[in-house]
């Protein structure tokens, strides 16, 4: 785990996928609050995911746990995820016009 850093394309794809899943469940506000409150602890949480990986991998898959723990290890990525959640979805912009 964490043998290499995420590329910019991988980072953007993970943020986009997380944003889509959060929006699909209409949990933007709780997610933004959660990430804002836990931003200072992002690296610790990502490191803790390595400790709990043996329990999470059978349910979530190795790639999911590895990629999202690498994504959330960087506080800047957490901020990018928050900004992405705060943006108005493109579909809603089209309906407003």
**Full-model pTM:** 0.83
- Is the separation of the CB atoms in 83 and 64 below 8 Å? no
- Is the separation of the CB atoms in 21 and 60 below 8 Å? no
Cβ neighbours of residue 35 under 8 Å, at least 6 residues apart?
78, 81, 82, 85
Alpha-carbon gap, residue 70 to 6, rounded angstroms = 7
* Tokens found for residue 53: 């990986």
pLDDT, one tens digit for every residue, the chain (97 residues): 667 888 999 999 999 999 999 999 999 999 999 999 999 898 898 889 889 999 999 999 999 999 999 999 999 999 999 999 999 877 655 555 5
- Is the separation of the CB atoms in 42 and 82 below 8 Å? no
């Amino acid at each position: 785990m964490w043998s290499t850093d995420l590329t910019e394309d991988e980072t953007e794809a993970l943020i986009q996928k997380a944003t889509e899943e959060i929006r699909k469940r209409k949990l933007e506000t709780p997610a933004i609050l959660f990430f804002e409150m836990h931003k200072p602890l992002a690296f610790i949480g990502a490191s803790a995911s390595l400790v709990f990986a043996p329990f999470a991998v059978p349910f979530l898959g190795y790639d999911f746990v590895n990629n999202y723990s690498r994504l959330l290890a960087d506080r800047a990525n957490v901020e990018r995820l928050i900004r992405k959640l705060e943006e108005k979805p493109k579909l809603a912009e089209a309906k407003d016009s």
